[in-house]
Amino acid sequence: MSDASTGSGAESEHDHAQHHEGPGYTTPQAAIEEGGREKLAYVMSLYVGTDVDAPDFVAVVDLDPESDTYCEIIDRIEMPNRGDELHHFGWNACSSSCHMEGLERQHLIVPGQRSSRLHVIDAADRRNPELVKVIEPEEVFEYDLSAPHTVHCVPDGQILISMLGDADGDLPGGFLELNEDFEIEGRWEPPGEIEMNYDYWYQPRQNVMVSTEWAAPKTYYPGFDLEDVEEGKYGQQIHFWDWEEGTVEQTIDLGEEGQIPLEVRFLHTPESTHGFVGTALSSNMFHFWRDEEAGEYRAEKAIDFEAREHPDWDMPVPGLTTDILISMDDRYLFGSNWLHGEVWMYDISDPSNPRRADSLSVGGTFGDIREVQGREIVAGPQMLQLSLDGERLYWTTSLFSSWDDQFYPEEAERGSVMLKADVDPRTGTLELDEDFLVDWGECPAGPARAHEIRWPDGDCTSDVWQ
């Protein structure tokens, strides 16, 4: 309870401040206890490649059920240019810097996936963030990199961004480092460490980073072409790096069952070497961990989602597991099967043997639930975000503009939605909240897509602990 009149709120804040001086929380459990309920969300919103002649924007969504504007987009931070394809984004600082006095979680780094433009947004005023800096694509191309994706902060103030291509949108990709003043510091790794790149996560106490593979931008940008898979143009490897040195120590080829490894997560516990990666095209979950005896990492298929027959389609349809996340208490792995139309939760208390807890069939190709509050759901669940306490799961429905056009063309005409399920971590169950709907179809300039979701003060996919 935070009844300010009794002063208890201020006291507990003071207490908290004694443990650390910097941003975030001292431990994942502290995040659960101190984070409080999410009242706002920042959501990547986009118009690129549609009839709407407007720039992409960051939506500020009201998630406070007590508020008059609950479930509404209460602010939009418009980008200065069109054509960015806002996709993933991240903070200048998270719990990994909680020992850094003076550093604050204040700036959002918002890359344009298609434009290679980098935006810096000052979110000191959580409800009215402001665009404060733009790094133009030409500056990024000078480092022979393009297609920015995952943003994480490095514990002492820098920012690291995975880059999927070279300046021509070809391979190899790499990593771009920004300094505390949001200037390009340079390429993080020595050239030639990897070819393909996508998502990454690091576990500093173990001095390890793991990165995944999508494809060359010129391959995935225009849309998904099966011919490219046959020609080996999509990835199936994951790379384990020496985090301090910035060099690849080990590469694991996941094989046929591990095609297109996208989102990758270590468990939150800083001691853990366990993690999961979702291989989108094969629609499998791989568990990875460090085998101490062998002195190297291992990866094993831990969950297999079967393709489904569709009466009117030529071939069995894969689930396309495009996003995963781990609850802050490391008990559950959540994921989305975008093509099937399913969100699911697995008990990972024994990470080698994930146990299905529950799932929800909604939207997409096969989902049982086809509408919420009379609004037709025209695509499957995609980007996920979970409350810090693990009791509310939210998701949006757009994957990537050109891939949406291929699989869910109506998403361009109708816009995306954000939906929510109530989670009971005790009983391991999910239930759709029928009262919750945020509709990007109602945006003033026209229907927009919605992609990654973040909470203003750290979430299950932003924070790392040192």
Q: Give whichever of 42 and 407 is closer to other proteins, judged by the CB atom.
A: 407
445: contact with other proteins by CB under 8 A: no
Tell me the closest approach of the beta carbon of residue 255 to other proteins, in angstroms: 21
> What tokens appear for 214 in the block?
């999508």
Question: Which of 43-51, 186-194, 196-204, 243-251 is the region at the interface with other proteins (rule: CB under 8 A)?
Answer: 43-51
Distance CA 265, CA 285 (A): 11
User: CB of 441 within 8 A of CB of 466?
Assistant: no
List strand residue ranges (DSSP E) for 12-128, in order: 40-46, 57-62, 73-78, 90-91, 107-111, 118-122
User: CB of 334 within 8 A of CB of 327?
Assistant: yes
409: contact with other proteins by CB under 8 A: yes
> What tokens appear for 274 in the block?
């366990």
User: CB of 90 within 8 A of CB of 153?
Assistant: yes
Q: Which of residues 212-271 bind other proteins (CB under 8 A)?
A: 217-218, 221-227
Tell me the closest approach of the beta carbon of residue 149 to other proteins, in angstroms: 14
Say which residue the tokens 């790094």 belong to. 135
Provide the 3-class DSSP secondary structure of residue 171: coil
Tell me the closest approach of the beta carbon of residue 415 to other proteins, in angstroms: 14
Tell me the closest approach of the beta carbon of residue 166 to other proteins, in angstroms: 10
Q: Which of residues 119-148 bind other proteins (CB under 8 A)?
A: 137, 141, 146
Query: Torsions phi, psi of 218, nearest 5?
Result: -60, -20
Q: Which of residues 61-90 bind other proteins (CB under 8 A)?
A: 82-85
User: CB of 304 within 8 A of CB of 316?
Assistant: no
Tell me the closest approach of the beta carbon of residue 401 to other proteins, in angstroms: 8
Q: Give whichever of 181 and 230 is closer to other proteins, judged by the CB atom.
A: 230
Tell me the closest approach of the beta carbon of residue 185 to other proteins, in angstroms: 23
306: contact with other proteins by CB under 8 A: no
115: contact with other proteins by CB under 8 A: yes
Q: Cα angle vertex 246, ends 290, 286, to 5°?
A: 35
Question: Which of 57-65, 151-159, 306-314, 354-362 is the region at the interface with other proteins (rule: CB under 8 A)?
Answer: 306-314
> What tokens appear for 406 in the block?
């291929």
Distance CA 3, CA 189 (A): 49
Binding residues (CB under 8 A) for other proteins: these are 48-51, 53, 82-85, 114-116, 137, 141, 146, 165, 167-170, 217-218, 221-227, 310, 312-318, 401-402, 405-407, 409, 412
